[in-house]
């Protein structure tokens, strides 16, 4: 077994545990979802499909249980310890899944990866991915219109909906992705064929424990499986990514996974309802390659939930940096 030195990973425990102690200096990143300032959507810089398709190995693991890919010989116990420290300190229910997409011996790892949480607005991620695949295949036109119906309405970011109002799929994607607008999300689900069609598609990708939109429950492992398939180009390739990725960058809530990394583009979809905070992310250029990170929390909410997610993200970033340094 090849041994790897993880000396710098010890710092991850302190960084991640610092969330519970209020030590992370990320206060300036909080409250962005309610800010009246509008982020400028990204309209260029498409990130190509990541090469090297492989099988993930994420199960319904309990806290502290590792789910490495069969080829991996790496010791992940220190990462598990770091995350377990945060979970124990927070008092929240937490599910975390990491899938490495590059470097040597990429692994899939989770803590409570199979635990079911309220999906909140992450159903919009699945709907956007299916819409992107349909657009890439020519099934639908990104400039085609979807017209509002009264049943679509749910209070959200925008309040300019009325019967007879029609928006292009491009416009709906910006509203549902950048702003997480609820009515736009409902219209997208209807446009892709409804909840039954969305869930059948998601299950075919590997999200077998989820019921998006209707029931609206999911797991960190399921959301990570969707992101892995997207990043590997399995859901319409570069054409789908060209439509999807800009509306998942620079969103109105950047206080989760993006706050735990620096100088890296993070594509992600958040969800929040009651005491639930979720961030399902693709970190496009980690120290040793891109990786998928999904963190789901229930029991803190608000600023505390985002700090918890940001702290876990920082710990994972430290883990990835240590991996790169050992190569």
pLDDT of 4 > 60? The answer is no
Q: Is residue 29 part of a domain?
A: yes
**In the chain, what is the greatest distance between 2 CA atoms, to the nearest angstrom?**
65
Report, as an integer, the average pLDDT of 35-45: 28
Q: Is residue 254 part of a domain?
A: yes
Instruction: Return the closest-CA partner of residue 97 out of 321, 313, 285.
Output: 313
Q: Are 89 and 314 in contact (CB under 8 A)?
A: no
Q: Are 205 and 58 in contact (CB under 8 A)?
A: no
Instruction: Return the closest-CA partner of residue 54 out of 107, 2, 97.
Output: 107
pTM of the predicted protein model: 0.80
- Could you identify the residue written with the tokens 């960058």? 249
Domain residue limits at 103: 7-326
Q: What does the mean pLDDT of the chain come to?
A: 81
pLDDT at 74: 63
pLDDT at 302: 86
Count each helix (H run) and each strand (E run) in the chain, helices first: 9, 9
Q: In total, how many domains does the chain have? A: 1
Q: Is residue 230 part of a domain?
A: yes
Q: Which two tokens stand for residue 296?
A: 């789901």
* Banded pLDDT at 322 (limits 50, 70, 90): confident
pLDDT of 321 > 60? The answer is yes
Instruction: Return the closest-CA partner of residue 296 out of 220, 215, 198, 206.
Output: 220
d(CA 213, CA 63): 27
CB atoms within 10 A of CB 273: 14
Give 140-186 as a DSSP string. Answer: S-TT-EEE--GGG---SS-----TT-EEEHHHHHHHHHTS--HHHHH
CATH number for the domain including 194?
A: 3.40.710.10
Q: Is residue 195 part of a domain?
A: yes
Tens of pLDDT, residue by residue over 91-123, are 999 999 999 998 778 899 999 999 999 999 999
pLDDT at 29: 28
- Which residues does residue 292 pair with via DSSP β-bridges, in sequence order? 99, 282
For residue 247, how far is the Cα from the chain centroid?
13
pLDDT of 54 > 90? The answer is no
Tell me phi and psi for residue 152, to 5 degrees. -75, -20
d(CA 124, CA 172): 11
Tens of pLDDT, residue by residue over 241-298, are 999 999 999 999 999 999 999 999 999 999 999 999 999 999 999 888 999 999 999 9
Q: Which two tokens stand for residue 26?
A: 């990320």
Tens of pLDDT, residue by residue over 193-249, are 999 999 999 999 999 999 999 999 999 999 999 999 999 999 999 999 999 999 999
Q: Are 115 and 264 in contact (CB under 8 A)?
A: no
d(CA 40, CA 53): 33
Q: Is residue 189 part of a domain?
A: yes
Instruction: Return the closest-CA partner of residue 122 out of 251, 300, 263, 304.
Output: 251
Q: Is residue 1 part of a domain?
A: no
Q: Are 199 and 104 in contact (CB under 8 A)?
A: no
Q: Is residue 315 part of a domain?
A: yes
d(CA 262, CA 315): 13
Side-chain half-sphere CA neighbours of 172 within 13 A = 33
d(CA 306, CA 295): 10
pLDDT of 309 > 50? The answer is yes
Q: Is residue 2 part of a domain?
A: no
Tens of pLDDT, residue by residue over 160-187, are 999 999 999 999 999 999 999 999 999 9
Side-chain half-sphere CA neighbours of 310 within 13 A = 27
């Amino acid at each position: 077994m090849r041994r790897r030195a993880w000396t710098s990973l010890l710092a991850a425990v302190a960084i991640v545990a610092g969330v519970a102690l209020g030590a992370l200096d990320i206060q300036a990143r909080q409250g962005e979802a309610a800010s009246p300032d509008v982020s400028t959507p990204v309209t260029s810089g498409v990130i190509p499909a990541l090469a090297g398709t492989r099988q993930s190995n994420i199960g319904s693991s309990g806290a502290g249980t590792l789910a490495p890919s069969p080829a991996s010989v790496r010791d992940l116990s220190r990462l598990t310890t770091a995350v377990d420290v945060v979970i124990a300190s927070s008092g929240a229910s937490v599910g975390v899944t990491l899938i490495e997409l590059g470097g040597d011996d990429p692994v899939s790892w989770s803590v409570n990866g199979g635990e079911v949480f309220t999906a909140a607005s992450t159903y919009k991620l699945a709907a956007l991915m299916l819409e992107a695949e349909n657009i890439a295949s020519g099934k639908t036109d990104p400039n085609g219109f979807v017209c509002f119906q009264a049943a679509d309405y749910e209070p959200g970011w925008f309040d300019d909906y009325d019967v007879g109002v029609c928006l292009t799929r491009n416009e709906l994607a910006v509203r549902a992705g950048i702003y997480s607008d609820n009515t736009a999300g409902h219209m997208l689900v209807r446009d892709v064929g409804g909840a039954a069609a969305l869930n059948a598609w998601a299950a075919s990708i590997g999200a077998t424990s989820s019921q998006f939109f209707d029931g609206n429950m999911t797991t960190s492992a399921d959301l990570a499986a969707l992101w892995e398939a997207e990043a590997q180009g399995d859901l319409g390739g570069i054409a789908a990514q060209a439509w999807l990725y800009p509306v998942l960058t620079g969103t109105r809530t950047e206080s989760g996974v993006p706050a735990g990394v620096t100088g890296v583009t993070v594509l992600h979809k958040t969800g929040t309802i009651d005491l639930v905070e979720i961030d399902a992310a693709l970190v496009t250029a980690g120290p040793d390659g891109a990786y998928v990170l999904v963190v789901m929390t229930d029991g803190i909410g608000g600023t505390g939930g985002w700090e918890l997610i940001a702290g876990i993200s920082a710990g994972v970033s430290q883990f990835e940096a240590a991996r790169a340094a050992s190569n």
